[in-house]
Structure formats: C-alpha cells, structure tokens
Amino acid sequence: MTESPSRKLIIAIDGPAGAGKSTIASRLARKLGYINLESGAMYRALALKAIEWDLSFDDEAALLKAAENARIQLEPSMGGNRVLLDGRDVSSRIRERDVTEAASRVSVHPQVRALMVARQREMGTGGGVVMEGRDIGTKVFPDADLKIFLDADPVIREQRRLDQQKIRGGSVPDIAADMAAELRARDQRDRTRASSPLVAASDAVILDSTRLSEDDVLGRVEELVREKMERS
C-alpha cells in the first residue's frame, strides 16, 4: 500500500496497554510514509520529570507547571519514538517500571491532559500521522479520518508485556506476577479516571487482537485505511 497523493489522513489508534498499538502504529506509519506519534511517551516523559524533581503524582498544580516548562519532543524513528526531555534522550528510561506506573498516575489530572492534548493536536495537524494512545479518537482528534480501538484479553496482554520484557533481558520469573498486577492496576486507573477515561469512540472500529497475529491485525487495519482513502 502506498501513500495517497491527494490527502494525508489522521489515523487514531487507541486501546489498553499490551494490545499491540505501538507495533501496529509504527508498522502502519512506515508503510504509509506517515509519522507515528506515541502520545503515551509524552505522559511518560512528564512522569520522569516528576520523579526526578520529587513531585507528588497527586499535585496537579506542580505537575502542570512541570509540564508547561518541559520540552518534550517525539522523534519518530524505525524502532519507535525517540523521546527527548529538555534535550536529553530518555527513550529507554521512560519504559522502565517506575516511570510506567507514574505515567498512569500523572495522566489522571485534567489540566495536565488539556496541555498534552493541545500539544498533540499541534503535532498531528496537517495529517499524515498515526497517533496512538488512550484518548486520540475521543479527545485529541475527534474528527480523525480513521479510529481504531485495539483491544485484547488481559491475560494475553500480560503475556505480551512479559515477552517484551524478556526481549529486553528482564528477570522474568521473579517479576511476572508483579507485572501482571501492575498492568491490571494501570488498566483500571486508565479506564476509570474521571478525565478522558480509556473508552472506544462511538465511531471507532474495534479490533480484538486476542486471537490475531500482528500481521493479521495490520492487514485488517490496512484494509480499513484503503477503504477510507478510496472514499475520500
């Protein structure tokens, strides 16, 4: 599939952790010649700043100020987004467990979200973007050309996260149970927070990847993109 010469789409991919959003988003973007933006990385970068500055994850005013002053850059690359915080490459650090947990906590605050959403809109305006996260189809780009909500059974999502960890060389047996519990807690927080909880937009296409391979999911998404391009 090649990029449409006429109009560059905005494609939103939302869903819970471990459903396969990042892989699908980056593979799709590469195929289309679009940029892939991981909105979660922005919350992760802010969470790292909060950890480093010893801010309380419950202090919305302090977090907002930190977010306003933070220079968070997402640089799409072949292996996912390179993330810079105030000019420093934090791409690996923000994937660690303490930051993962903190990101879910700093992202509950409405004012922090409003700032992030505004920045995400700026990044995606003009189209030619696959943006993934939790609220892209509902809040960031409610008029996105195509909205995918990628879900999977929690047990499968936990297993995928563990497999990723294995690839990164983590000591899996010791931490498997902890990681599963953390994923469930994060899920619960992301889905039940008052501000922009994780829900599928009413016009999103819901894809359950529990029994699908990555290639199957990508194929289905490409089909949807093709249909959209033909119609627009």
What is the Cα 107 distance to its own chain's centre?
A: 12
CB of 184 to ligand DC, least distance (A): 12
Instruction: Provide the 8-state DSSP code for 204.
Output: P
By CB under 6 A, which span of 41-49, 67-75, 77-85, 161-169 interacts with ligand DC?
Answer: 41-49
CB of 7 to ligand DC, least distance (A): 24
CB of 200 to ligand DC, least distance (A): 13
Interface pick for ligand DC out of 44, 49, 147, 160 (rule CB under 6 A): 44
Strand arrangement, sheet containing 80-85: 72-77, 80-85, 88-89
By CB under 6 A, which span of 69-77, 102-110, 168-176, 203-211 interacts with ligand DC?
Answer: 102-110
* Other beta carbons less than 10 A from residue 222's beta carbon: 16
* Nearest by Cα to 16 from 102, 135, 114, 167: 135
d(CA 41, CA 175): 23
Check if the beta carbon of residue 37 is closer than 8 Å to that of residue 174.
no
Tokens of 97: 């467990």
Q: Where are the beta strands (DSSP E) in the chain?
A: 10-14, 35-38, 72-77, 80-85, 88-89, 129-133, 146-151, 205-208
Quick note: the x/- pattern for ligand DC over 126-145, rule CB under 6 A, is: -------xxxx---------
Query: Considering beta carbons, is residue 83 or 229 the nearer one to ligand DC?
Result: 83
Query: Considering beta carbons, is residue 26 or 104 the nearer one to ligand DC?
Result: 104
Touching ligand DC, residues 162-191 (CB under 6 A): 186, 190
By CB under 6 A, which span of 4-12, 33-41, 81-89, 162-170 interacts with ligand DC?
Answer: 33-41
Binding site for ligand DC (CB under 6 A): 17, 39-41, 43-44, 103-104, 107, 133-136, 186, 190
